[in-house]
């Protein structure tokens, strides 16, 4: 789910170590557009820590990761022609793209879509019940005491549902991050950190 195409996956393999080296994780990567002008969209975050800090990124984070990625892309030159690099935070109602995401956000409401029909449908909504043996558990909305499990490989799209509980968790994570930044003397970018989009143009 982090990448849709083979080209996406190859770029993820190239850029994962780059993001890790500067303290971030790639949540999702999409290379879009035609041959003349393409867009490389990278959604990334700070690793989520046990104390609740991490997760979202601010302007400085996006700029730092963008510079690191640009250096490697310029050297490796994996994309022919011109392209625009866009680095952003996943935001509070983030997509879930890795198996660990389904563990980290257990207890919150999500929507998921499968690549096949299960229980008579492909789309489901409910409370995330965590992960067991590589399968994602979901307490189905409107069906008391009904938990279904889907192999992670079946899931093509998953996203947190924006509600009061998620907003509260997002506020707690932001408070934890800002507390850590205050201790280090970093600048507070406030609520804008949830939806940062830093773009720059690259050409072959």
CA distance readout (Å), 17 to 69, 84, 135, 190: 10, 21, 27, 29
The answer to pTM > 0.75 is yes
| Residue-averaged pLDDT of the chain | 86
Mind listing the pLDDT tens digit for each residue in 104-127? 999 999 999 999 999 899 999 999
Tell me if 85 sits within 8 A of 42, measured CB to CB: yes
Write down the domain spans for the chain.
Answer: 6-93+188-202, 99-161
Helix (H, G, I), strand (E, B) or coil at 86: strand
In a 13 Å sphere around the CA of 129, the CA atoms on its Cβ side amount to 18
Helix (H, G, I), strand (E, B) or coil at 56: coil
- Per-residue pLDDT, 184: 54
- Per-residue pLDDT, 196: 44
Question: pLDDT-derived band of residue 191, with 50, 70 and 90 as boundaries?
Answer: very low
Mind listing the pLDDT tens digit for each residue in 22-54? 999 999 999 998 767 899 999 999 987 765 556
- As given in the structure block, the two tokens for residue 97 are 């793209």
Between 10-24, 96-110, 139-153, 171-185, the lowest mean confidence (pLDDT) is in 171-185
- Per-residue pLDDT, 181: 63
Q: How far apart are CA 153 and CA 155, in angstroms?
A: 6
Q: How far apart are CA 177 and CA 172, in angstroms?
A: 9
SS3 per-residue string spanning 20-42: HHCCCEEEEEEEEECCCEEEEEE
Q: How far apart are CA 187 and CA 142, in angstroms?
A: 44
- Per-residue pLDDT, 114: 97
**What's the CATH code, domain 6-93+188-202?**
3.30.300.70
**What's the CATH code, domain 99-161?**
2.30.30.180
- Per-residue pLDDT, 143: 82
């Amino acid at each position: 789910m982090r990448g849709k195409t083979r080209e996406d996956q190859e770029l993820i393999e190239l850029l994962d170590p780059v993001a890790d080296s500067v303290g971030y994780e790639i949540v999702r990567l999409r290379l879009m557009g035609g041959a003349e002008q393409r867009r490389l969209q990278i959604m990334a975050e700070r690793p989520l820590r046990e104390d609740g800090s991490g997760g979202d990124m601010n302007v400085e984070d996006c700029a730092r990761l963008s510079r690191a990625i640009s250096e490697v892309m310029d050297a490796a030159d994996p994309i022919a022609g011109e392209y625009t690099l866009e680095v952003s935070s996943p935001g509070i109602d983030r997509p879930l793209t890795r198996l660990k995401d389904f563990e980290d956000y257990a207890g919150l409401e999500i929507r998921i879509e499968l690549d096949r029909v299960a229980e008579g449908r492909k789309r489901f909504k409910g409370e995330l019940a965590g992960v067991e043996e590589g399968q994602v558990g979901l307490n189905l909305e409107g069906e008391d005491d009904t938990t279904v499990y889907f192999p992670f490989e079946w899931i093509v799209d998953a996203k947190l549902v924006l509600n009061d509980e998620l907003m509260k968790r997002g506020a707690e994570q932001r408070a934890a991050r800002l507390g850590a930044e205050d201790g280090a003397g970093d600048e507070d970018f406030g609520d804008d950190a949830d939806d940062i989009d830093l773009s720059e143009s690259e050409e072959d």
